[in-house]
Amino acid sequence: MSELPFNIKSTPVIDQVGLVERAQKFKTRSIKKEAKVQGLKMALNMIDLTTLEGRDTEGKVKQMCYKAMHPHEGLDIPTVAAVCVYPNMVGVARQALKGSKVKIASVATAFPSGMSNLAVKLEDTKMAVDSGADEIDMVISRGKFHQGEYSYVFDEIATIKEACGKARLKVILETGELGTADNVRKASDIAIYAGADFIKTSTGKISPAATMPVTLLMLEAIKDYYLKSGKMIGMKPAGGISDSKTALHYLVMLQETLGNDWMTNQWFRFGASRLANDIILQLLKQEKGTYQSMDYISKD
């Protein structure tokens, strides 16, 4: 096993109380009028439209891909950033998204629990990449992390990163299982140094999923790495962000923590299934002046 390229014992400590207090303050920003419309369109364009269920069908994935490209007829709005599916649906999505800029993200590495060996995880990843995934969302081995086997976690990420080839790698920390803010910071640093292109909060299968404090502390890990190395890392909060207001709060937090360069879907994503429709609802309201019935918005 390799030595970590940084001293894990001296990763920055986090004060949970101060962290929550700071995250709370972003919620007092009032985003209105043009700023709101601009922010909502930006948020829509950052969504990884997701379906990760055992009951997913090819038909459902195809419909979701159409929605990803045309979120709502008659509104001048961007596409979402990507669709996020299981590996066996990547081929279907590839077909359905032909010719569009919408990316395909696939979860891999024995998602969501990661309870398997490296060989299986590699096979899982290769299958997704070979089927045409642009992005791989892997999970870390939380068990090994809690046992203090940080090098194992690091190596696993580095190996998967190699297997990704050109595909960008998002590393899911599953913060809801890490227990403390200090652990989330440690896991963030391990993932970043091991070659993650993105760090991601959650699978969406565990509660709590993404929260503003946990996202803030991961953004700060990204900031510290950037200030040291000049390399940008992306961030993806996932799970539990289902309304426009919350999405705007996240964007405020992003803008005021990492600045303008991160305000694009190249560096920030929302992992969400319901958020897109709420954004459409709000944008329709801005245009028409009243809230439309949800019956006017497609549910896929």
Partner 1 sequence: MATKQNSYSLNFDTDWNYAPAPESSGHISIKDKYDLFIGGKFVKPKSGKYFDSINPATEEVIAKVAEAEEKDVDTAVKAARKAFGPWSKLSGKERGKYIFRIARLIQERAREFAVIESIDGGKPIKESRDIDIPLAAAHFFYYAGWADKLEYAFPNRSVEPLGVAGQIIPWNFPLLMAAWKIAPAIACGNTVVLKPAETTSLTALKLAELISDAGLPEGVVNIVTGAGKTGAAIVNHKDINKIAFTGSTEVGKIIQRAISGTDKKATLELGGKAANIIFEDAAIDQAVEGVINGIFFNQGHVCCAGSRLFVQESIKEEVESKLKMRLETLRVGDPLDKNTDVGAINSQDQLKTIQAYLEAGKKEGLESFQPSYKLPKKGFFCKPTLFFNVAQSSKLAQEEIFGPVLTIQTFRTVDEVIEKANNTPYGLSAGVWTDKGSKAFNMSSQLKAGVVWANTYNKFDPASPFGGYKESGFGREGGMHGLAVYLKIN
Active site residues: 137, 200, 236
Q: Which is nearer to partner 1, 14 or 93 (CB)?
A: 14
**Please, which residues bridge with residue 198 across strands?**
170, 234
Instruction: Identify the residue among 27, 29, 62, 126 touching partner 1 (CB under 8 A).
Output: 29
Instruction: Identify the residue among 131, 263, 266, 297 touching partner 1 (CB under 8 A).
Output: 263
Q: Is 179 in the site for partner 1 (CB under 8 A)?
A: no
Q: Is 39 in the site for partner 1 (CB under 8 A)?
A: yes
Q: Is 226 in the site for partner 1 (CB under 8 A)?
A: yes
Question: Strand, helix or coil at 48?
Answer: strand
Q: Is 251 in the site for partner 1 (CB under 8 A)?
A: yes
Residue 137 tokens read as 């969302």
Q: Is 15 in the site for partner 1 (CB under 8 A)?
A: yes
Task: For residues 129 and 30, give the distance between their C-alpha atoms in angstroms, rounded to a whole number.
Answer: 42
What distance lies between CA 62 and its chain's CA centroid?
A: 21
Q: How far is the CB of 233 from partner 1 (least distance, A)?
A: 13
Which residues within the stretch 48-87 sit at the binding site for partner 1 (CB under 8 A)? Answer: none
Nearest CA to 247 out of 272, 213, 220, 281 is that of 272
Instruction: Identify the residue among 224, 242, 298, 300 touching partner 1 (CB under 8 A).
Output: 224
Nearest CA to 251 out of 267, 239, 240 is that of 267
Instruction: Identify the residue among 218, 258, 272, 283 touching partner 1 (CB under 8 A).
Output: 258
**Count of residues that interact with partner 1, criterion CB under 8 A:** 39
Q: Is 24 in the site for partner 1 (CB under 8 A)?
A: no
Task: For residues 52 and 205, give the distance between their C-alpha atoms in angstroms, rounded to a whole number.
Answer: 9
Give the E-state strand segments of the chain in sequence order. 47-50, 82-85, 103-107, 135-139, 168-172, 198-200, 234-236, 270-272
Give 154-207 as a 3 state SS string: HHHHHHHHHHHCCCEEEEECCHHHCCCHHHHHHHHHHHHHHCCCEEECCCCCCC
Q: How far is the CB of 202 from partner 1 (least distance, A)?
A: 21
Instruction: Identify the residue among 18, 165, 179, 208 touching partner 1 (CB under 8 A).
Output: 18
Chain positions contacting partner 1, by CB under 8 A: 10, 12-15, 17-19, 21-22, 28-36, 38-39, 42, 217, 220, 223-224, 226-230, 251, 255-256, 258-261, 263
